[in-house]
A and B are shown apart, each in its own frame.
Chain A
Amino acid sequence: MWEVIGALCPCCLLWILSFGVQASCLTILFCVLGCVLAEAGWELIRKQPITVRDGSAVMTGILLALNVPPNAAWWMALLGGFVAIIIGKQVFGGLGCNPFNPALVGRTVLLISFPVQMTTWVMPRTHEITSATPLSAVKMAVGLHGNITPEVQAQLSGVFYGGLGGQLGVLSALALIAGGCWLIYRKIITWHIPASFIGSAFVLSSIFWLVDSSKYPSPLFHMVTGGLMLGAFFMATDWVTSPLTPKGMVVFGIGCGVLTVLIRLFGGYPEGVAFSILLMNSATPIIDRLTMPRKFGAMPKKFGLVTKKG
Chain B
Amino acid sequence: MQVQQVKERSKAFVNLFRQHKGMNMELKTFKGGLHPPDNKRWSEKKAIEVCPVAEGDELVIHLSQHIGAPAEACVQKGDKVLKGQVIGTPKGFVSVPIHASTSGEVIAVEPRLDTAGNKTMAVVIKADGKDEWDPNLSGADPDKLMPQELKDRILAAGIVGMGGATFPTHVKLSPPEGKKIDYLILNGVECEPYLTADDRLMQEKPEEVVEGILILKRILGVEKAVIGIEANKPTAIETMQKACEGKGIEVCPLQLKYPQGAEKQLIYAVTGREVPSGGLPMDCGCVVQNVGTAAAVNAAVRRGIPLIERIATVSGSAVAEPKNLLIKIGQPISKLVEFCGGVKGELGKIIQGGPMMGMAAVSMDVPVTRGTSGILLFSEGEVIRAPEGPCVRCGNCVRACPAFIMPTEIAFQMRRGKVDEAEKLNVMDCIECGSCTYICPAQIPLLQFFRQAKSAIRANIAKRKKV
Q: Is the CB of B392 within 8 A of A292?
A: no
Contacts A294-B404, A296-B264, A305-B274: A239 and B394 contacting too (C-beta < 8 A)? Answer: yes
Contacts A305-B284, A307-B274: A296 and B390 contacting too (C-beta < 8 A)? Answer: no
Kindly state whether residue B459 has any CB partner on chain A within 8 Å. no
User: Which residues on B sit within 8 Å (CB–CB) of A190?
Assistant: 395, 399
Interface residues of A in 102-136 (CB under 8 A from B): none
Nearest Cβ on chain A to B352's Cβ, whole angstroms? 27
User: Which residues on A sit within 8 Å (CB–CB) of B393?
Assistant: 96, 239-240, 244
User: Which residues on B sit within 8 Å (CB–CB) of A245?
Assistant: 395, 398, 406
Kindly state whether residue A47 has any CB partner on chain B within 8 Å. no
Q: Is the CB of B274 within 8 A of A96?
A: no
Give 1 or 0 for each of B373-396: 1 = CB within 8 Å of chain A CB: 000000000000000011111110
Chain A residue, CB-CB nearest to B403: A296
Main secondary structure of the interface of A (DSSP, over half): loop
Q: What residues of chain B have their CB less than 8 Å away from a CB belonging to chain A?
A: 3, 7, 10, 31, 264, 268, 272-279, 284, 389-395, 398-399, 402-406, 408-409, 426, 429
Interface residues of A in 273-309 (CB under 8 A from B): 288, 292-299, 304-309
Main secondary structure of the interface of B (DSSP, over half): loop
Q: Is the CB of B395 within 8 A of A306?
A: no
Chain B residue, CB-CB nearest to A243: B395
User: Which residues on B sit within 8 Å (CB–CB) of A295?
Assistant: 277, 403-405, 426, 429
Size of A's binding interface in residues, CB under 8 A? 26
User: Which residues on B sit within 8 Å (CB–CB) of A96?
Assistant: 390-393
Partner of B273, one of A246, A298, A305: A305
Kindly state whether residue A97 has any CB partner on chain B within 8 Å. yes
User: Which residues on B sit within 8 Å (CB–CB) of A94?
Assistant: 390
Give 1 or 0 for each of A240-267: 1 = CB within 8 Å of chain B CB: 1000111000000000000000000000
Q: Is the CB of A308 within 8 A of B277?
A: no
Complex Cα distance, B268 from A245, in Å, reads 22
Nearest Cβ on chain A to B412's Cβ, whole angstroms? 10
User: Which residues on A sit within 8 Å (CB–CB) of B404?
Assistant: 293-296, 309
Nearest Cβ on chain B to A274's Cβ, whole angstroms? 21
- What are 5 A-B contacts defined by CB distance under 8 Å? A97-B390, A295-B403, A305-B272, A306-B273, A307-B272
Kindly state whether residue A44 has any CB partner on chain B within 8 Å. no
Complex Cα distance, B408 from A96, in Å, reads 12
Kindly state whether residue A95 has any CB partner on chain B within 8 Å. yes
Complex Cα distance, B48 from A188, in Å, reads 42
> A244-B409, A296-B277 known; 9 other A-B pairs, CB under 8 Å?
A95-B390, A190-B395, A295-B403, A295-B404, A295-B426, A297-B264, A297-B278, A297-B279, A306-B274
Nearest Cβ on chain A to B410's Cβ, whole angstroms? 11
